[in-house]
Structure 1
Amino acid sequence: MSLVTIIISILLPPLAVFLKSGLGTQFLISLLLTLIGWLPGIIYALYVNSK
């Protein structure tokens, strides 16, 4: 995982997930978690991008 990916994951978690996996269920989960709370969205984005 690059530094740019980490920064995008922190600032815009759904965008980071979208760039990794496209528009699908992982993106929707990330969007929902980010809307519920910023921290869960960041954690999920970092998790998806670390795979």
Structure 2
Amino acid sequence: MVRSSDILLILVAILFPPAAAAFITGCSCDLLINICLTTLGYLPGHLHAFWLIYKKMQAEERYGSGGFIYVGNGHYEPLYQPAPGQPQAPYYGATHHG
């Protein structure tokens, strides 16, 4: 499900990808990666920002809105983990890496 905040993030990513990465990850190494990719070429920065948005949307689907924390910083999977003390939403996906 696409939320209005996700649409806003997509619009920000189209205009300036590092800003979208900063909104999602804060001051992290993913932000530095996005800045470097954007300076190397605008398209790589866009692709990275859209990938971060996609992973955030997956985390919202899996853990519920606000039920997760960002733990990226160089990790490929998962970028998000359940927040401590938050009940985990049921996961109905076909491939669960529990």
* Same fold, TM-score > 0.5, yes or no: yes
**Structure of greater Rg:** 2
Cα displacement string for residues 2-34 of structure 1 (whole angstroms, at most 9, x for unaligned residues): 211111011110000000010110000000000
Q: Residue 48 of structure 2 corresponds to which residue in structure 1? A: 44
Residue correspondences, number = 51
Unaligned runs of 5+ in 1: none
For the aligned residue pairs, the C-alpha RMSD in angstroms reads 0.9
- When normalised by structure 2's length, the TM-score is 0.50
Q: 1:28 aligns with which of 17, 27, 32?
A: 32
Q: Residue 7 of structure 1 corresponds to which residue in structure 2? A: 11
- When normalised by structure 1's length, the TM-score is 0.93
**Structure 1 runs, 4 residues or longer, greater than 3 Å off:** none
Q: Which has the higher contact order (CA 8 A, sep 6+)?
A: 1
Unaligned runs of 5+ in 2: 56-98
